[in-house]
Structure 1
Amino acid sequence: MKILGIFLICIYSVCGQDTYKGLVVDKVTKQPIPFVNIGVQGKRTGTVSDEKGLFYLYLDETKIQSTDIVQFSSLGYQTIEMSVSNARYILREHSKIEMRSENIILNEAVVSSTLLVPIIKPVGYRSTDNNNFGYWKDNKALGGELATRIEVNNQKRKLSSLEFEILENLSDSLLLRVNVYDIGDNDGGPNQNLNKSNKNILYTLKKHEVIVKIDLEPYNILVNSSFYISLELVKRYNNKPVGLVLAAADKNDEHIKRANNKPIGLGMTIPEKSKGTYRRYASQGKWIKVSNINMAFYLETKQLVSKDKAKKIEDKQKKDREKRRIVSGFTIFKGEVIPNVNIYNSRTKETSFSDVNGKFQIHAKKNDVLFFTRQGYNKVSLKIGKERALNVLMQL
C-alpha cells in the first residue's frame, strides 16, 4: 500500500514554555471576536481564539526570539503585529487585545451586455482509492492548514461548493474553516485571502461523516485565475488527540521520503500545472510545500455563458446521466423507514440522501461499494451486484 503522510501537527513539550491567556475584542463594540488566528510569524507556534474570543498562546523560549513577531489576524479586521517581548508584557499585564475593523471591500458585480446564464463547472481533484492522504495528528497547534492549488482558466467564476472525503476521524467533533487564497507573484504557496464577505466559512465535522459538501454560495467568492483552497483546524470539542485523515488525489511513481521511519512528504515527476499541497503547522506559520500530490478538494463553480452554450452543456449532461445505471431502495431500522441517511459511492464519489419516506436513488454499477451513514447508526457497506433495487437495514 502506498502511504502519503502530508501533514503532521507536532506536539511540543511544555518545558521551557510560558502559557498566556488572552481575550480578543472589537475595539469599538468591545464584543469578543471568535476564531482569530494568533501566532508567531513563520514559526510552528500558534492558536485560534474560541467562540468567546479567548485563547491560550504557548511561547517556547527555546524556539522563538524576543524580536520575533506575534500576529493577530481575522476576516474583517486590521492585522495586529507586535514583538514577542511586547506580547509577553501585554498579555501578562492586560490579557486583552483590541482589533479595529477594516473597510469592507465587496467583490465587484459582473456586468455584460450579452444575456448570460450561470452553468456549473467542476474543478479540483477527486480520489479513486485510499492510498494517498493528508492528516492532522495530536492535540496542539490550532490553525494548522492543508492547501491545494486549483487550476482554472482566466475566466471569472463564483465558487459554489467544496467537497472532500474523510478517510478517518477519531474525534467526536471538530470545527474546520475553509480559506481561499490567491497566488503570489512567486507562487510560494497561498497568499492573500479571497473571502471578502468578512464571514468565516465554518463547518462542524461530526464523527462517521464520509463525504462533506460545504455551501460556498453565501460568501460570494469570485476568482478569475488559479487559486489555493485550504482546510484549517480551528477547534476540537474534547480532550482526545486529533486524528483526522482526508483523501488526496491519485498519482503514480511516488517516492516516499522518510524521517525516523515516519512518512513526511513525497517527491515525483508531475505535470507542470499540478502544483501540489502546502501546509502550515499553526496560525501565522510559514507555508511549506510538502508534496506534489494534491488534496482531493473538489469544487463546483459557476461561470456565465451564453444561453445557447448553456443549453448544449445541459443537454450533454442530461444524456450522460441517462446512460448511467441507477440503484434505488429504502433505508430501514426495525421495520421503520429511516430518512436522511447519507449514501456514498466509493468509486464515483457521488452522494445522495434517503428522503422523508426512506427512499434513495444513486448511480452505481456492478461491484461498486456503497456506504450508508447517519448520526447515531453504524456505517453499513454494500457491494452492488446485478440488482437495481435493494433495501438497507441500519443498526444503532
Structure 2
Amino acid sequence: MKEILLSVFCIWTLAIQGQLAYEGQVVDAQSGNPIPFVNIGVVGRGIGTVSREDGRFLLEFRPGEVESGDLLRISSLGYTPREIPLAHLDTRLKVFVFRLEPEPISLSEVVVSSAELMEVEEEHGYPDLIGKGIGYWKDSVALGGELASLIRMRKGLYRLNSLFFHILENPSDSVQLRINFYSPNRNGGIPGENLNKSGKNMLHTVKAGTIFSVIDLKPYDLWVRDDFIVSLELLGVHGTPQVMLSLPAGEQPSGKSYRRYASQGDWETIDGAVVGFSVQATLFTDNPRRMPSPREVRKRLRSESEISGIVFSAGPALRGQKISQPMEGATVINYTRNTTVQTDKWGRYRMKVAKGDILGVSYPGKYQLIVEVTEPRNFNFQLHSSRELNMQRIDAE
C-alpha cells in the first residue's frame, strides 16, 4: 500500500526555555460575549492556535521564530479579521483581550431565470480510495492546522448537500474538527475565500471507533459554480497527547491537496494526490443534456428497492423488560440520493435505496445513527440517547 504524506494531525507539547506566551480571550465587540474557535496566529510563520469554547487561548513561540514586523492575525467566521503588529502588543499585559466586529451575514446568491431549472443529484470527489493509500502528516501540527483537497466540478450551479469521508485510524478518545469549504485562490489555486457565509462553524467530532463520517451541509447553504476545496481543521484532541487521524488517500494525475501546520500559516500544495473526500450535490440546470440519459435512469431504477421499517427507542422497564416505543416524526435521510422521509405515528417509514447508499436516522435528543446499505432489506432502527452509534451495516439476518 502506497503511503502519501497528507493527513495525520500530530500534537506534541514541548517545554522550551525562553519561550514567549501570549494568553488572552477573543470577544464580540458589540455584545462582549466570548467567541469560540477563533484562529489566532502569526501570519506566514506556522505559529498559531485556536481559541477554546470560552474564547480563551494560549499562543506560545520562541523569540527567534518571529521578527518585529510580523503580524498577529485574529479571524473567525462571521467577524471582520484583525491584524496587529507584534511590536504593538504591550508585553506588560498578562492577559490580552481582542475584540472582533461582527460582519453582516452574507446571503447566498439568488438565482433568477426565466427557464425552469431541472435538478440532478450527483456525487463528486473521491469516494473509492480505501485500499489505495493512507494519507497522513508526519510533522507536528498546532491547533488550526488544516488538510484540504480540491474537488473538481463541471461548470454549473450546485448546492452542496452532504460531505463523506472514511477514517482509517484514530487512537484518541475524540478529535474535534472544523469543516471548511474554500474557493481556489486565483494566485496559485490555494484555498482562498471561505464559502461558508452562514456565520455558523461547521463542527464535527470524530470519536474512537468511528470509521465513517457524514456531515449534513444543508444548514450552511453552500453553493458553487466550479471547482472548490474542502478541508479538515484541527480544533482539539482528547484522550492522548498525540493524535493520528489517518484517512484514505491516493494518487490522482490532476489532483491537488493542501496543508498548513497552524492557524494563519502558509498553505503548501501537494500535486498529484487527493484525500478521500466526496460530496453529494444537486445540479440546477436548464440544459437537458446535463440530465441523466434514459439508460442511466433505467440502470438506477433497477438498482433501487423500497425498504420499510420502524424507528423506535427503548422505553421504561416493565416487569424487568424494556418496552420499545415507536418514534413519530423521526427523520430518515438517504444522503447518497438526497431524499428524506418522516416516520408516521407508528414510527414507520418507507424509502427507496440501493446497495452502497448512506442513510442517516435522527430524532431530537437522540444520537444520530449512520448506516450503510449492504443489501436493501427492511430494517428497524433503534435510537439511543446514552451512547452514540457511529457506523452500522444493514445486513440480512
In the superposition, the TM-score normalised over structure 1's length comes to 0.75
Query: Match for residue 51 of structure 2?
Result: 49
Q: Distance in 2 between matches of 1:13 and 1:200?
A: 29
1:239-271 C-alpha deviation (Å, 9 max, x unpaired): 5321111111x33xxxxxxxxxxxxxxxxxx64
Deviation at 1:307, TM superposition (A): 9.9
Query: Match for residue 373 of structure 2?
Result: 362
Query: Match for residue 25 of structure 2?
Result: 23
2:269 counterpart (275, 281, 289): 289
2:283 counterpart (294, 297, 303): 303
Query: Match for residue 381 of structure 2?
Result: none
Q: Distance in 2 between matches of 1:110 and 1:314?
A: 28
Native 8 Å contact 1:107 1:196 kept in 2 = yes
Structure 2 unaligned residues grouped into runs of 5+: 311-322, 331-354, 364-368, 377-383
Identify the range of structure 1 (320-329 vs 274-283) with the bigger mean alpha-carbon deviation: 320-329
Deviation at 1:20, TM superposition (A): 2.1
Partner SS state of residue 320, structure 1: helix
Native 8 Å contact 2:258 2:269 kept in 1 = yes
Query: Match for residue 390 of structure 1?
Result: 396
Query: Match for residue 386 of structure 1?
Result: none
Deviation at 1:94, TM superposition (A): 4.4
Aligned residue pairs, count? 352
Native 8 Å contact 2:156 2:285 kept in 1 = no
Q: 1:139–1:309: structure 2 CA closer, same or farther, 3 Å change rule?
A: same
Native 8 Å contact 1:75 1:198 kept in 2 = yes
Deviation at 1:21, TM superposition (A): 1.6
Matched, 1:152 2:153: yes
Output aligned runs, 1:145-294, within 5 Å. Answer: 145-248=146-249, 250-251=250-251, 271=253, 274-294=254-274
Deviation at 1:299, TM superposition (A): 0.5
Deviation at 1:281, TM superposition (A): 0.4
Q: Distance in 2 between matches of 1:97 and 1:152?
A: 39
Partner SS state of residue 62, structure 1: helix
Q: 1:60–1:3: structure 2 CA closer, same or farther, 3 Å change rule?
A: same
Query: Match for residue 337 of structure 2?
Result: none
Output aligned runs, 1:119-130, within 5 Å. Answer: 119-130=120-131
Deviation at 1:323, TM superposition (A): 4.0
**One-letter code of the match for 2:280?**
E
Query: Match for residue 4 of structure 2?
Result: 4
Partner SS state of residue 209, structure 1: coil
Output aligned runs, 1:122-141, within 5 Å. Answer: 122-135=123-136, 141=142
Partner SS state of residue 143, structure 2: coil
1:13-70 C-alpha deviation (Å, 9 max, x unpaired): 4313222221100111000001101111112211101111011111221322232111
Q: 1:205–1:313: structure 2 CA closer, same or farther, 3 Å change rule?
A: farther
2:67 counterpart (65, 68, 74): 65
Partner SS state of residue 78, structure 2: coil
Q: 1:315–1:169: structure 2 CA closer, same or farther, 3 Å change rule?
A: same
**One-letter code of the match for 1:59?**
F
Q: 1:215–1:353: structure 2 CA closer, same or farther, 3 Å change rule?
A: closer
What's the C-alpha RMSD, in Å, of the aligned pairs? 4.1
Q: 1:319–1:41: structure 2 CA closer, same or farther, 3 Å change rule?
A: same
Output aligned runs, 1:308-347, within 5 Å. Answer: 312=292, 316-317=296-297, 319-320=299-300, 322-323=302-303
Q: 1:137–1:329: structure 2 CA closer, same or farther, 3 Å change rule?
A: farther
Q: Distance in 1 between matches of 2:90 and 2:246?
A: 35
Deviation at 1:363, TM superposition (A): 4.0
Partner SS state of residue 169, structure 1: coil
Q: Distance in 2 between matches of 1:155 and 1:287?
A: 27
In the superposition, the TM-score normalised over structure 2's length comes to 0.75
Q: Distance in 1 between matches of 2:393 and 2:118?
A: 40
Identify the range of structure 1 (58-67 vs 224-233) with the bigger mean alpha-carbon deviation: 58-67
Query: Match for residue 104 of structure 1?
Result: 105
Identity of aligned residues (%): 35
Query: Match for residue 350 of structure 2?
Result: none
Deviation at 1:89, TM superposition (A): 2.6
**One-letter code of the match for 2:126?**
Y
Partner SS state of residue 219, structure 2: helix
Deviation at 1:210, TM superposition (A): 1.2
Partner SS state of residue 155, structure 2: coil
Query: Match for residue 344 of structure 2?
Result: none
**One-letter code of the match for 2:169?**
E
Deviation at 1:208, TM superposition (A): 1.1
Partner SS state of residue 292, structure 1: strand
Q: 1:243–1:138: structure 2 CA closer, same or farther, 3 Å change rule?
A: farther
Native 8 Å contact 2:374 2:393 kept in 1 = no
Q: Distance in 2 between matches of 1:87 and 1:188?
A: 34
1:310-352 C-alpha deviation (Å, 9 max, x unpaired): 875698346335248999999xxxxx99x99xxxxxxx86545
Identify the range of structure 1 (3-12 vs 188-197) with the bigger mean alpha-carbon deviation: 3-12
Q: Distance in 2 between matches of 1:361 and 1:14?
A: 45
